[in-house]
Amino acid sequence: MTKTIGVIGGMGPAATVDFFAKLLAATPAERDQDHLRILIDNNPRVPDRNAAIVGRGESPGPQLAKSARGLERAGADVIVIACNTAHAFGEEIEAAITAPLMSMIDATADAAMARKPSRVGVLAADGCRRAGLYQRAFEARGVEPLFLADELQLDFMQLLYRIKAGDTGDATRLRMEQLATGLNARGAEAVIAACTEVPLVLSADALAVPLISSTDALVARVVAFAIQG
Amino acid sequence: MTKTIGVIGGMGPAATVDFFAKLLAATPAERDQDHLRILIDNNPRVPDRNAAIVGRGESPGPQLAKSARGLERAGADVIVIACNTAHAFGEEIEAAITAPLMSMIDATADAAMARKPSRVGVLAADGCRRAGLYQRAFEARGVEPLFLADELQLDFMQLLYRIKAGDTGDATRLRMEQLATGLNARGAEAVIAACTEVPLVLSADALAVPLISSTDALVARVVAFAIQG
């Protein structure tokens, strides 16, 4: 008997579609009935994570916890969040459920370690950086995380909001590539797409070093967990 | 306050991803918080609808009803099913919930009427045909539905199962186009993609007559309903 995956989504919705599509692609299946049951709460009304973490808005914690509880009640055996920054509220979510919350941060850091890097470049949103999620994950693994310089981080945030508004065009792709390549030039031996909007405009073949997608890392881990039953 | 949409999905999963992506595309939004809350139960373990309708398998009715109830309990204000054939179990689903079940069949037939056809070609799975879903909908609107001849219907069902197995390649696309064009040649003034797998391999520009996608028709209706609040 396989496990049911519960996905807290909507941050943003297009990243949740991408996460859902990749869950299917990662599942060995020939017919509908071979696929996993997946429950999704695409709740884009969750207050802005970045604003809350920098102290400029309502906390999304209670809504994320409620979403997790609803998914568990509907039958989810394991909960995932299709958003890195929202993991800053992980403890509040875990306190609301009995099912395990499988971390996108840990899955991504572990996937990066397969490349044995000593330095990784991390493309992460302001809130995710401010909350120290990847700093702690990589420091625990003896790896130095490199982030964008402040003025480039501003560009990166603008790109994220453009992607959320539906702009995945060439200019957006090119700028994202430049930001990733810049981290590589500073010595990163791998680049981490530490925000689920990044893979919507950046693919591995655009870079000279490995690109570790947080979406792919968590998808691979949770599908393996769910299939094993 | 907008309404929350509950989607009974997984029949098949790729069609549910397509339905989800089109819900987002149909929603006017500049940022995450402008989007609608969407709850999805991607439950591919629902017994085969076609097999059940022809009396060769377990009824999916109880599982569909349970799924609808779960979505309602999690906060859905309106329920939709991202599968035409499953509408054969509509009464059993409606009996399990208090929220409205918005019909894909009615939305699609109404969308077709905007073209004022006297005859429409209907690409529908065996179970959907056997249950008479589109026959009743079009007869009530004074329109004659044309279906595939028996030997072509066998081809169509094989195509659907190929799409469900992930084959959306050129040969599958070409065969689907031929089946649609054949209905057009027999006098159909519009072709109805009356199965949510069809739009995965057939686009409107492949046909000389309008293609009415059941996915698009229901997406447009439910987004309008949810936005109006």
Q: What is the ipTM of this complex?
A: 0.96
Q: What is the chain A residue with the closest CA to B30?
A: A165
| pLDDT for the residue numbered B1 | 87
Looking at residue B96, what DSSP letter applies? T
Binning pLDDT at 50, 70 and 90, where does residue B38 land? very high
B130, two tokens: 């056997």
A69, two tokens: 């509880």
Which residue among A12, A31, A166 places its CB closest to the CB of B164?
A31
- To the nearest whole angstrom, how far is the Cα of B19 from the nearest Cα of chain A? 10
Mean pLDDT of all residues in B42-57: 92
Nearest Cα to Cα of residue A12 among A196, A219, A214: A196
| pLDDT for the residue numbered B174 | 97
Mean pLDDT of all residues in A183-209: 97
Mean pLDDT of all residues in A125-153: 97
Mean pLDDT of all residues in B33-60: 94
Binary contact (A74, B75; C-beta < 8 A): no
| pLDDT for the residue numbered B54 | 87
| pLDDT for the residue numbered A170 | 97
**What are the structural domains of chain A?**
4-103+217-228 (3.40.50.1860), 105-214 (3.40.50.1860)
Which residue among A13, A21, A31 places its CB closest to the CB of B161?
A31
Other C-beta atoms lying within 10 Å of the C-beta of residue A225: 17
**pLDDT tens readout for residues A16-72:** 999 999 999 999 999 999 999 999 999 999 999 989 998 899 999 999 999 999 999
| pLDDT for the residue numbered B2 | 96
Mean pLDDT of all residues in B130-146: 98
Contacts of B44 in chain A (CB under 8 A): 32-37
**pLDDT tens readout for residues B204-225:** 999 999 999 999 999 999 999 9
Q: Which residues of B are catalytic?
A: 83, 195
Cβ B83 vs Cβ B148: under 8 Å: no
- Tell me which long-range contacts A138-143 makes (C-beta under 8 A, separation of at least 24): A138/A109, A138/A112, A140/A109, A141/A109, A141/A113, A143/A109, A143/A112, A143/A113, A143/A117, A143/A118, A143/A119
Cβ A2 vs Cβ A35: under 8 Å: no
Cβ A218 vs Cβ A88: under 8 Å: no
**pLDDT tens readout for residues B162-181:** 999 999 999 999 999 999 99
In the predicted structure, residue A93 carries a pLDDT above the cut 90 = yes
Q: Which residue out of A193, A194, A195, A218 is catalytically annotated? A: A195
Q: What distance, in Å, lies between the first and last C-alpha atoms of chain B? A: 5
% of chain A residues with pLDDT over 90: 97
Mean pLDDT of all residues in B112-122: 96
Residue corresponding to tokens 């992980």: A90
Tell me the residue length of chain A: 229
Mean pLDDT of all residues in B11-24: 97
| pLDDT for the residue numbered A54 | 86
| pLDDT for the residue numbered A5 | 98
| pLDDT for the residue numbered B229 | 81
Average pLDDT over chain B reads 97
Query: What's the gap between Cα B45 and its chain centre?
Result: 18
| pLDDT for the residue numbered A229 | 81
Name A83's Cβ contacts closer than 8 Å, sequence gap at least 6. Answer: A8, A9, A11, A15, A49, A104, A196
In the predicted structure, residue B75 carries a pLDDT above the cut 90 = yes
- To the nearest whole angstrom, how far is the Cα of A125 from the nearest Cα of chain B? 15
- A104-to-A83, A88, A108, B43 alpha-carbon distances in Å: 8, 11, 6, 23
